[in-house]
Structure 1
Amino acid sequence: MDPDSGVILARTAEGNAVALGLLKCGKIWLCPVCSATIRHGRAEEITRAVVAWVAMGGVALLVTFTARHASTDKLATLMDAIQGTRADKANGVARRPGAYQRLITGGTWAGRPERGLTGIRDRVGYIGMIRATEITVGQANGWHPHIHAIVFLGGETAGTRADKQITRVFTPSDSAMAEFEGHFRSVWTSHLAKVDRAFKPSDKHGVDFKKLETVQDAEDLGKYIAKIQDGNKAISPANELARGDLKQGRHGNMAPFELLGRLGDLMGGVPEDEADGHGDQPWCRAAWAEYETATKGRRAIEWTRYLRPLLGIEGGDTEEDDLDVLAGMDGLSEFRDGVRVDTGAWHKVTHRALDLATIEAAEDGRWDDVTELVTASGARSGAVRRLSTGEIAEVWEATLATLAERREAAAARRRVEQAGTADPGN
């Protein structure tokens, strides 16, 4: 981030090692390291939002949307069907909505205010939702992209766009909830059928609803849903949405980072029958390349516009916001001790692939080993300098000050964008 400051390897009060001052790629779809940190931060945001809404007396549902798929289906085609496509103004290509966007459009949903007619949106008090897209793949059944969404219901609002405020919280009637669920199921399956009849799921499996009951449930990340399981681990709704890096593919499928891990093992010489997962190296390589292409330019996690301020949550969903999450998560704890490594020396360390060993040594407080690893990379021993707790805190405070300036600039940009943008479907 700053060549003059070098890289700070610090140990937190909990004994974890962090590398401060490094630029990070921030690729939530592709990088196991950045994805884990970003998704952890996003999961905390989602948890705060659910807790806040349930505490106010609102209703929150975890809704899972799936499409029928086969081994011959391309991931990009399936993603377009469920998530839609983005506009390409340079080439004159208009944006096409997917099944997800269709859920909250049209007169049945929004009503016809000019005629004094309300829609399903008003009867259930819809205020927005948080959407996360998850992907798995297997040789037998191919790509399986699906959407998890937390839907916030039971609210009345006044105002428009960024000035919108919640004026009343209520419990939707059973009939309104049945109408809402029926609408979501009907719109989701019918749109997929229009794209390709082979994509149409059954009414039973296409859309699944689970209600979040209480604040206590929401705060207990293993219990406040009907025991959603991932292997032997209970997954909270926040983690179900955000922590795609924790997922293991079900029914013989692999999550993307499981696929990447197998590919790495095979490229490293591990026999096919000993490496986790399935598929030979050419198949795994082709699958990963297809995954990279199909996810490019898409958001893994996205909130309905203006939902964040309604629930008192700051931030946004852009790649810049993800980078802010990455930087902010580095400083969640007090620092115990650490070292500074010159920028040039750190380049030598990474060139020799000694960075992981160096960070592991820092995590154990083996500072002499850190120096030996740096010098083994070809750098001089003076390139490593021990830092006091106060010195580390001073460097980090300067980094946070720069980060705060970036956040304010991003917030100002969002205010300008929101002031001039219509509020679609909300």
Structure 2
Amino acid sequence: MDPASGVIVAQTAAGTSVVLGLMRCGRIWLCPVCAATIRHKRAEEITTAVVEWVRRGGTAYLVTFTARHGHTDRLADLMDALQGTRKTPDTPRRPGAYQRLITGGTWAGRRASDGHRHTDREGIRDRIGYVGMIRATEVTVGQINGWHPHIHAIVFVGGRTEGERADKHVVDVFEPTETALKEWQDQWRSVWTGALRKVNPDFTPDRKHGVDFKRLETERDANDLAEYIAKTQDGKAPALELARADLKTAAHGNVTPFELLGRIGDLTGGMPEDDAAGQGSLEWNLGRWHEYERATKGRRAIEWTRYLRQILGLEGGDSEEDDLDLLLAADAEGGELRAGVAVTDEGWSAVARRALDLAATEAAEGTDGNTDPAAMGERVRKVLALADVADTVVVLTSAEVAEAYSAMLDSLALRREEAAARRLRELNRRDEAADFVQERAARHIERLAGTDS
């Protein structure tokens, strides 16, 4: 993070170790190390949101969206169909089936000539009290059925809101009628399958498997999620289903991208194919991994409806910068630190180049029961001597670690303030752009009607 301060390898009161001062890549799609931390924090955030909404009296649904796929389909084409295409210098962004769900007059209602909406002009969104949703995209692949990207979403309904954009807030909660809920589910199933059929008829799922709805009945349902966030790997808890794709083992003969990566590591390390986890040859796994890298570039793995966090009283964002903030915050949650070792920036770089960073952190743990700072420092020093950087090590007492730790927290707080300001500027720019588009559209309509602008 800061070359001037270097890195601190510290021992916590629990006897574990933590490395402070390192910047991470933050690649949620590609990095198993960063993905585990980011997804764990995202899962906690999702659980908090669901608990808060159900506590208020609202209703939440876990909705899963899938497309029909075959072994010849390319992942990029399927992702474009589900999520939409990415904007390039030469082509505009094209909405995917997901964006089609929340557009159109049937969903959003229609305005009268005076610009207002009346009861008879309300859309499905109003009748179910749609507040927003959290979307997560997951990808698996198999040799028989090919790529299988799918979307999990937790949808918050049963709320009446007032205000626009950043000023939007919930003024009441209610129980949507069974008629309204059925209308919503039928509409989303119809829109989803229709949008996929329009992109490619081969992607059209059957009505049973295309869109699946599961309701969270009570606040206890939501609270129970927290027990499974970091432990369960079966994907049964809704927040885990959204966020912890890194923990899953794919079903129906498929593998997850990180299982591809694990098999690549085993096979390149000389392990026989029959002994390595996963499936396929090294060539097949490398080909799928490279295709996965290209298809996920520039896409968000987890995304909230804009302003949903503010409505629920939460902070944060979905950008890559926000993911890095989560990693930094996780580093700062190591608990009480009782001893540490400071290593210069150049010294730690030498340690990492020789792949001794794991050994150094393990040496900082109190596994032998000796938590004396000098003893811990000697253990770490022996490891770093292998990289010829033992002279860059400074052993810190608990007080010195606390002082250095406090300075890092101050730096983190400054980064988070800058991130919050950055998000606000981005939201303001988007709002200004939306206002400009609406104004231009209104003028165009006036000209078509033959009135003066």
Classify the TM-score, shorter chain. Answer: over 0.9
C-alpha distance in 2, partners of 1:113/1:52?
32
**1:224 offset after TM fit, Å?**
9.7
User: Of 175, 179, 191, which residue of structure 2 is paired with 1:175?
Assistant: 179
Match of 1:84 in 2: 84
Alignment of 1:271-310 (within 5 A): 271-310=272-311
C-alpha distance in 1, partners of 2:340/2:251?
41
Give % identity. Answer: 60
Structure 2 residue 412 is matched with structure 1 residue 413: no
**1:50 offset after TM fit, Å?**
0.4
Kindly tell me: are residues 222 and 420 of structure 1, through their superposed partners in 2, closer, same or farther at Cα, counting changes over 3 Å?
Answer: closer
Structure 2 residue 262 is matched with structure 1 residue 261: yes
Secondary structure (helix, strand or coil) at the match of 1:221 reads helix
Mean Cα deviation higher: 411-420 or 40-49: 411-420
Q: Is the 8 A contact 2:59 2:216 kept in 1?
A: yes
Structure 2 residue 128 is matched with structure 1 residue 124: yes
**1:323-363 per-position Cα deviation (integer Å, ceiling 9, x unaligned):** 00000011222223221122222112111111122222223
Q: Is the 8 A contact 2:66 2:209 kept in 1?
A: yes
| Partner amino acid, structure 2, of 1:307 | L
Structure 2 residue 145 is matched with structure 1 residue 141: yes
Alignment of 1:194-213 (within 5 A): 194-213=198-217
Q: Is the 8 A contact 2:47 2:226 kept in 1?
A: no
**1:386 offset after TM fit, Å?**
2.0
Match of 2:373 in 1: none
Kindly tell me: are residues 259 and 305 of structure 1, through their superposed partners in 2, closer, same or farther at Cα, counting changes over 3 Å?
Answer: same
Q: Is the 8 A contact 1:222 1:235 kept in 2?
A: no
Match of 1:190 in 2: 194
C-alpha distance in 2, partners of 1:142/1:370?
47
Match of 1:49 in 2: 49
**Count of residue correspondences:** 417
Match of 2:351 in 1: 349
Q: Is the 8 A contact 2:263 2:277 kept in 1?
A: yes
Q: In angstroms, what is the RMSD of aligned CA positions?
A: 2.0
**1:204-246 per-position Cα deviation (integer Å, ceiling 9, x unaligned):** 0111111112222211127899xxx976x46421111111111
Match of 2:388 in 1: 378
Secondary structure (helix, strand or coil) at the match of 1:113 reads coil
User: Of 95, 98, 123, which residue of structure 1 is paired with 2:96?
Assistant: 98
Q: Is the 8 A contact 2:52 2:312 kept in 1?
A: yes
**1:24 offset after TM fit, Å?**
0.6
**1:371 offset after TM fit, Å?**
1.3
**1:195 offset after TM fit, Å?**
0.7
C-alpha distance in 1, partners of 2:363/2:182?
57
- Normalising by structure 2, we get a TM-score of 0.88
Match of 1:34 in 2: 34
C-alpha distance in 2, partners of 1:386/1:210?
54
C-alpha distance in 2, partners of 1:334/1:176?
52
C-alpha distance in 2, partners of 1:298/1:180?
27
Kindly tell me: are residues 26 and 53 of structure 1, through their superposed partners in 2, closer, same or farther at Cα, counting changes over 3 Å?
Answer: same
Match of 2:441 in 1: none
C-alpha distance in 1, partners of 2:129/2:258?
38
C-alpha distance in 2, partners of 1:259/1:123?
44
**1:241-279 per-position Cα deviation (integer Å, ceiling 9, x unaligned):** 111111111111111111100001101100100000011
**1:128 offset after TM fit, Å?**
0.4
Q: Is the 8 A contact 1:161 1:418 kept in 2?
A: no
Q: Is the 8 A contact 2:228 2:240 kept in 1?
A: no
Q: Is the 8 A contact 2:363 2:383 kept in 1?
A: no
**1:391 offset after TM fit, Å?**
2.1
Match of 1:62 in 2: 62
**1:393 offset after TM fit, Å?**
2.4
Structure 2 residue 162 is matched with structure 1 residue 158: yes
User: Of 349, 360, 363, which residue of structure 2 is paired with 1:361?
Assistant: 363
C-alpha distance in 2, partners of 1:392/1:28?
30
C-alpha distance in 2, partners of 1:397/1:156?
43
